[in-house]
């Protein structure tokens, strides 16, 4: 009927356009969420603890121990290890996030190991979402910033959400970054918010008063060495205990608990040239100031990092960024709004600007590169078909099944409840060759029928009747192999693309391709059909 009635063919074209529009609406309506890679089911994660600068190690350790007691109550946790004051053994994720720099009394890491995945129902990412709330509630009592660091399924990044803040000076960068940090903290689905800026710490600057030292008959070198010994300690000798294998160093310095009380300098006396004791406090100028903060750079440009993670139903950074974009666009620095960059670093830091990085940057680069690879493959495939069939139009008809597979791939991710990931895109590219092969089978047989003297209608009908079996068998083989990918968190997207894309594309190919060639043949031989 489709070959006999033009109205039905027009109606079919309209239906296909509507189906394409409906399929692509799954993405903006968030029925299908796009993400670089879903979280894998690992057997470990890390709890990263950051206390305010200057916090004693004992308090940090007490927090880590309390979190450990909670972790012990989680059935899926096999064991945990606390590293207080130092970083946990470095892994690939920590290498990129610079965890190896973590040291001091205000930091601690907890390495959490889960029971084997075969012995638990919950995946590691679900467990991370479960323990995040109680752990952060414990951290609030200690005024601590706590993050759950999962093993990334793909290339590790500084954090899932990263806002790089640039500006003409550190004050501007900090002012803009603090506003962005507040937006992160008040955005639904954004968790583990932090920024790479140290807390304000009072620093005591001790300098030798050279005039008083000279008048008192004490050398500045002696004052400096005494100060260094008092604050940092100095090796005075070694002690043979008789019990230890190695000798024990004897360090002379002020006890840690007394360092903040500078009155102790009055009790340290230096002998002047005339033999009189002079209190060290009289030879030193004491200045209290705020300690300078570290300034990070990227490609030689000073930057302040605001970081966060995403949790909930929309675990893709793109959607979190879109939620915050309107409020971030309202941030001003003086009389102008800050500039926003998505894929490249700003060329100048003379004006305040923000550049999105983290998982978004990886997602953009991967999908861009896959898109370019797909476009290149399409061009090569087209010219191969042109060379074989000696026609520029016929290969276009043969390549129609490629976009048709999207009618199955995009809704398929919704029905299977999977993210549209980089592996999903790979599945779409892989299907291109398979679906074109099915179209080649049909059109090649149609042209063979025409060479035998059959009418175009008979050739189309005969091709569909004879070539349907190999086309369906090819699709069944693809679907059967792809089903084994569905249980894997990483390659589930590839499996969904192959299964749903091959199914829908094959069904439509058996109808659209013969009909498309029939319509093309009638247009090319219009004079013959009129006669």
- pLDDT tens for 342-388 read 988 998 888 899 999 988 898 888 889 988 988 998 999 999 999 98
Q: Does domain 202-289 have CATH number 3.30.2090.10?
A: yes
Whole-model pTM: value is 0.76
Instruction: Kindly tell me if the per-residue pLDDT of 531 is higher than 70.
Output: no
DSSP 380-439: HHHHHHHHHHS-SSHHHHHTTHHHHTHHHHHHHHHHHT--B-HHHHHHHHHHHHHHHHHH
> Residue 476 — very low, low, confident or very high, per pLDDT cuts 50/70/90?
very high
- d(C-alpha 309, C-alpha 148), whole Å: 9
Whether 159-200+291-359 and 40-152 are alike in CATH topology: the answer is yes
> Residue 433 — very low, low, confident or very high, per pLDDT cuts 50/70/90?
confident
pLDDT per position as a tens digit, 246-295 = 788 888 877 766 666 666 777 788 877 777 888 888 888 888 888 888 88
Q: Which of the four CATH numbers 2.60.40.420, 3.30.70.1320, 1.10.3720.10, 3.40.190.10 does domain 159-200+291-359 have?
A: 3.30.70.1320
| Mean pLDDT, range 145-159, rounded to an integer | 85
The strand order across the sheet containing 77-86 reads 77-86, 103-114, 44-50, 145-150
Average predicted confidence (pLDDT) for the chain: 86
| Mean pLDDT, range 119-131, rounded to an integer | 89
- Closest Cα to residue 74, out of 120, 12, 21? 120
Helix pair angle (57-71, 124-141), 10° resolution? 140
Domain ranges of the chain: 6-31+391-530, 40-152, 159-200+291-359, 202-289
* pLDDT at res. 266: 76
Distance of CA 487 to the CA centre of its chain: 23
Whether 403 contacts 429, CB under 8 Å = no
DSSP 248-270: EEEEE---GGGTT-GGGGGG-EE
- Closest Cα to residue 325, out of 169, 161, 193? 161
* pLDDT at res. 253: 79
CATH class of the domain at 40-152: alpha beta
DSSP 336-382: EEPEEESSS--S--SS-EEEEEEHHHHHHHHHHHHHHHHHHHHHHHH
Instruction: Kindly tell me if the per-residue pLDDT of 162 is higher than 90.
Output: yes
* pLDDT at res. 260: 62
| Mean pLDDT, range 142-171, rounded to an integer | 88
Whether 76 contacts 69, CB under 8 Å = no
Alpha-carbon separation of residue 275 from 208, 219, 221, 270, 492 (angstroms): 20, 13, 17, 9, 83
CATH number, domain 6-31+391-530: 1.20.1640.10
């Amino acid at each position: 009927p489709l070959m006999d009635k033009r109205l039905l063919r027009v109606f079919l074209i309209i239906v296909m356009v509507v189906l394409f529009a409906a399929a692509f609406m799954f993405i903006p309506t968030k029925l299908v969420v796009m993400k670089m890679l879903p979280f894998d089911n690992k057997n470990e994660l890390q709890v990263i603890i950051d206390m305010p600068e200057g916090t004693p190690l004992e308090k940090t350790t007490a927090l880590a121990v309390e979190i450990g007691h909670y972790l012990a109550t989680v059935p899926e946790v096999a064991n945990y290890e606390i590293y207080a004051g130092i970083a946990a053994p470095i892994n690939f994720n920590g290498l990129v996030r610079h965890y190896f720099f973590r040291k001091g009394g205000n930091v601690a890491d907890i390495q959490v190991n889960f029971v084997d995945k075969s012995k638990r129902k919950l995946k590691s990412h679900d467990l991370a979402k479960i323990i995040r709330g109680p752990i952060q509630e414990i951290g609030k009592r200690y005024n601590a910033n706590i993050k759950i660091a999962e093993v990334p399924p793909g290339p590790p990044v500084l954090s899932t959400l990263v806002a790089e803040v640039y500006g003409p000076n550190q004050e501007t960068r900090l002012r803009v970054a603090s506003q962005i940090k507040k937006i992160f903290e008040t955005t639904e689905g954004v968790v583990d918010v932090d920024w790479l800026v140290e807390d304000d710490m009072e620093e005591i600057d001790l300098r030798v008063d050279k005039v008083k030292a000279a008048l008192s008959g004490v050398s500045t070198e002696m004052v400096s060495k005494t100060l260094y010994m008092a604050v940092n300690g100095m090796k005075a000798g070694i002690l043979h205990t008789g019990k230890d294998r190695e000798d024990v160093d004897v360090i002379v310095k002020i006890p840690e608990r007394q360092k903040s009380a500078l009155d102790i300098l009055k009790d340290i006396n230096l002998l002047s040239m005339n033999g009189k004791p002079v209190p060290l406090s009289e030879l030193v100028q004491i200045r209290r100031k705020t300690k300078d903060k570290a300034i990070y750079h990227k490609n030689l440009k000073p930057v302040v990092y605001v970081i966060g993670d995403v949790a909930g139903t929309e675990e893709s950074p793109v959607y979190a960024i879109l939620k915050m974009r309107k409020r971030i666009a309202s941030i001003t620095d003086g009389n102008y709004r800050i500039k926003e960059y998505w894929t490249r670093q700003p060329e100048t830091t003379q004006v305040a600007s923000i550049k999105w990085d983290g998982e978004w940057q990886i997602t953009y680069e991967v999908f861009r590169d896959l898109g370019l690879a797909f476009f290149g493959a399409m061009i090569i495939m087209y010219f191969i078909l042109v060379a074989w069939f000696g026609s520029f139009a016929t290969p276009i008809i043969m390549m129609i099944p490629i976009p048709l597979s999207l009618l199955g791939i995009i809704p398929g991710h919704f029905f299977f409840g999977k993210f549209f990931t980089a592996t999903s895109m790979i599945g779409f590219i892989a299907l291109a060759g398979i679906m074109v092969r099915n179209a080649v089978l049909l059109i090649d047989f149609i042209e063979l029928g025409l060479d035998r003297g059959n009418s175009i209608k008979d050739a189309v009908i005969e091709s569909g009747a004879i070539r349907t079996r190999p086309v369906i068998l090819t699709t069944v083989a693809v679907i059967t192999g792809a089903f084994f990918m569905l249980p894997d968190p990483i390659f589930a997207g590839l499996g969904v693309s192959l299964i749903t894309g091959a199914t829908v594309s094959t069904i439509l190919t058996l109808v659209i391709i013969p009909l498309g060639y029939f319509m093309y043949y009638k247009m090319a031989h219009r004079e013959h059909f009129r006669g």
